[in-house]
């Protein structure tokens, strides 16, 4: 199972019913008819450390946006109650699920940031950034 497949399985298995999207921002191009709530992750990159054994330690920075459809006329309180707070909770739940699984060697510090009315279609939610480490021991040949 790849890292993207694993993250997708965790996110789509959450009770919030997330639609998982994996692409860079221009490709995501969300529309009003998207299935919300969404969890979309930017393309991955890693910092890799090779070992003499052939194993590779890879540290990834995951950037995932947890969001719900919002309305332009929502008040700050409505954004908080209907979008930001539930998506902050979902982001924390996602971190907890990663920690209880055994896919990653280490889950490092994470950051959450609230956003409202972002992108072409108005979405409110939480941006999550988390560093994870895994060890790849698959053979090179």
pLDDT in tens, 42-59: 999 999 999 888 889 999
- Residue 6 structure tokens: 């694993």
User: CATH for 3-136, among 1.10.600.10, 3.30.2000.10, 1.20.120.330, 3.50.50.60?
Assistant: 3.30.2000.10
pTM summary value? 0.89
Tell how far CA 60 is from the center of its chain: 12
What is the rounded CA–CA span in Å between residue 72 and residue 52? 55
CA gap 29, 56 in Å, rounded: 34
Q: pLDDT for 55-69, tens place per residue?
A: 899 999 999 999 999
d(CA 128, CA 113) in angstroms, rounded, equals 7
Residue 34 tokens read as 């998207």
Task: Tell me how many helices (H) and strands (E) the chain has.
Answer: 4, 6
Question: For 80-91, how does the pLDDT look when each residue is reduced to its tens digit (9 = 90+)?
Answer: 999 999 999 999
């Amino acid at each position: 199972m790849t890292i993207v497949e694993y993250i997708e399985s965790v996110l789509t298995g959450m009770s919030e019913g997330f639609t998982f999207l994996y692409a860079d921002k221009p490709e995501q191009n969300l529309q009003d008819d998207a299935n919300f709530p969404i969890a979309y992750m930017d393309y991955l990159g890693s910092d890799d450390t090779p070992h003499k054994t052939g194993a590779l330690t890879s540290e990834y920075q995951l950037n995932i946006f947890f969001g719900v459809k919002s309305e332009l006329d929502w008040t700050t309180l409505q954004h908080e109650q209907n979008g930001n707070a539930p998506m902050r909770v979902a982001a924390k739940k996602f971190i907890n699920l990663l920690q209880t699984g055994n896919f990653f060697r280490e889950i490092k510090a994470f950051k959450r940031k609230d956003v409202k009315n972002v992108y072409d279609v108005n979405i409110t939610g939480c941006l999550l950034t988390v560093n994870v480490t895994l060890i790849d021991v698959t053979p090179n040949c």
